[in-house]
Amino acid sequence: MRKNADAIIIGAGVIGAATAFELGKRGYKTINIDKLPAAGYGPTSSSCSIVRAHYSSWDGVGMAYEGFSYWEDWPNYLEIEDERGFAEYMRSGTVLLKSKTGHHEKVLKHYRDLGVEHEEWELETAKERVPYFDFHAFWPPDRPESEEFWHKRDEELPGVIYTPGSGYMNDPQLTSHNLQRASESKGGEFMFNRRVVEIRRDGRVEGVTLENGEEIDAPVVVNVAGPHSFVINRMAGVEDEMNIKTRALRHEVHIVPAPEDVDYEHEGFHTSDGDQGIYFRPEAGNNILIGSEDPDCDPQVWVDDPDDYDRKVSRAQWEAQVYRVARRIPAVKVPPDSRGLVDLYDVSDDWIPIYDRSALDGFYMAIGTSGNQFKNAPVVGHMMAEVIDACEAGHDHDSDPVQVKTRYTGITLNAGFYSRNREINPNSSFSVNG
């Protein structure tokens, strides 16, 4: 018998699974299809899963701030038990270093406007609160191969913005598994080790065809395929009509031991160090997990085929990131072995996601997450379900964007902000900061 559903979701990463759960709550019978063997096994599993609110735009800050509450309320929100237990929200707080990027100025305005709890620390307070940091300014970001990298600096940073409510999820794959179980409790189904190779359509979307020839029918298909988003959009024939496009960017994350006399795992802050173009957070085993804010001095590797790219950590990039951390935390001992991982971001033209319908009726997308949307997964699930529900009921979302009432903070998010047809947003940081 042919399989069918009310909605097919391509991808079972954290956002794909969250979208399934939210649609399930609204009575949709969903099927997630993923080419990998389990939920969250793709880029989601490589995610640093940092939850912070310092985005450049009101909408970005508002969505992330709403996200804090989902993570705080995680088991309760899911309404289920999971035989593997629940992923945990580690409320480390965030230290955003004030830097010449000026990012903190945009952020502060939105924090005040939206009531995001925060403190401004002058330099002296910052030194007391994080005594193991060197607060010298190293701007502009550079690489250890250059001689200037090692020069002594005189200027110090003006201070930091501290947000106590932020942190990270300790296990991004388990987070996705939790969402899978929550979706299944609403009748959702997950098909793994299956690759979608065709989006069938006839005026509107009709369903998908898998690599093994199986056809599944549904009036709604949602592209949540991460770095493969452009591949799926081309299958659906919708990419050409979109003003904002997506492409895959290779990204490395590195790990080093924290200094032995610092209980970084339990007391360390997630830190956004725009002054050096890096971010870092505590990791189990008293380690420091380091990601890049893609400063201009570092190579950007755009990937044409998301199934074929170099997954080996590069020694040069490892050194660049680790030596930057060692400048900020001088007690870090740089080990001889380069540990880390490599995965892909699905980057949009302005590093702001696309959460939208498409020109093909019934075909939707939650893509272009640009290395910064793990934290928003449940909020996005809610937004996508609202947009799909409204469009399927005949609402013209393109000319009258759906306004999404949030669950926890009560703010209203304009889904039109994430339109595929927007102009490139000039206020974006054009980086992982969104």
Ligand X SMILES: Cc1cc2nc3c(=O)[nH]c(=O)nc-3n(C[C@H](O)[C@H](O)[C@H](O)COP(=O)(O)OP(=O)(O)OC[C@H]3O[C@@H](n4cnc5c(N)ncnc54)[C@H](O)[C@@H]3O)c2cc1C
Q: E strands of 349-388, at which residues?
A: 354-357, 363-367
d(CA 133, CA 329): 5
Tell me how far, at minimum, the Cβ of 230 lies from ligand X, in Å: 10
Tell me how far, at minimum, the Cβ of 399 lies from ligand X, in Å: 27
Of 36 and 123, the one with the shorter C-beta distance to ligand X is 36
Tell me how far, at minimum, the Cβ of 150 lies from ligand X, in Å: 28
Tell me how far, at minimum, the Cβ of 289 lies from ligand X, in Å: 9
Tell me how far, at minimum, the Cβ of 184 lies from ligand X, in Å: 17
| Residue closest to ligand X, measured at CB | 226
Whose CA is closest to 177, among 88, 90, 89, 82?
82
Of 14 and 390, the one with the shorter C-beta distance to ligand X is 14
d(CA 66, CA 432): 19
Backbone angle region of 102, left / alpha / beta, with phi > 0 → left and psi within -120 to 50 → alpha: left
For the sheet with 167-169, list strands across it. Answer: 50-51, 167-169, 89-90
Tokens for 382, please give them.
């809610």
Of 130 and 199, the one with the shorter C-beta distance to ligand X is 199
Of 5 and 135, the one with the shorter C-beta distance to ligand X is 5
Of 101 and 223, the one with the shorter C-beta distance to ligand X is 223
Of 35 and 104, the one with the shorter C-beta distance to ligand X is 35
Dihedral (CA of 257, 168, 43, 278) sign = negative
d(CA 399, CA 416): 9
Of 224 and 332, the one with the shorter C-beta distance to ligand X is 224
Q: E strands of 106-187, at which residues?
A: 119-122, 159-163, 167-169
Of 47 and 101, the one with the shorter C-beta distance to ligand X is 47
Beta bridge partners of 366: 355
Tell me how far, at minimum, the Cβ of 147 lies from ligand X, in Å: 30
Of 12 and 258, the one with the shorter C-beta distance to ligand X is 12
* Residues comprising the chain, all counted: 434
Tell me how far, at minimum, the Cβ of 44 lies from ligand X, in Å: 3
Tokens for 421, please give them.
């047809």
User: Are the C-beta atoms of 69 and 409 separated by less than 8 Å?
Assistant: yes
User: Are the C-beta atoms of 222 and 236 separated by less than 8 Å?
Assistant: no
Tell the residue number behind the tokens 């209980």, with chain if given. Answer: 263
SS3 at position 395: coil
Whose CA is closest to 404, among 420, 421, 388?
388
User: Are the C-beta atoms of 345 and 370 separated by less than 8 Å?
Assistant: yes
Residues at the site binding ligand X, with contacts judged by CB under 6 A:
10-16, 33-36, 41-44, 46-50, 195-196, 224-226, 228, 251, 253, 291, 343-345, 369, 371-375
Residue type, 248: A
Tell me how far, at minimum, the Cβ of 414 lies from ligand X, in Å: 20
Tell me how far, at minimum, the Cβ of 66 lies from ligand X, in Å: 13
d(CA 41, CA 93): 27
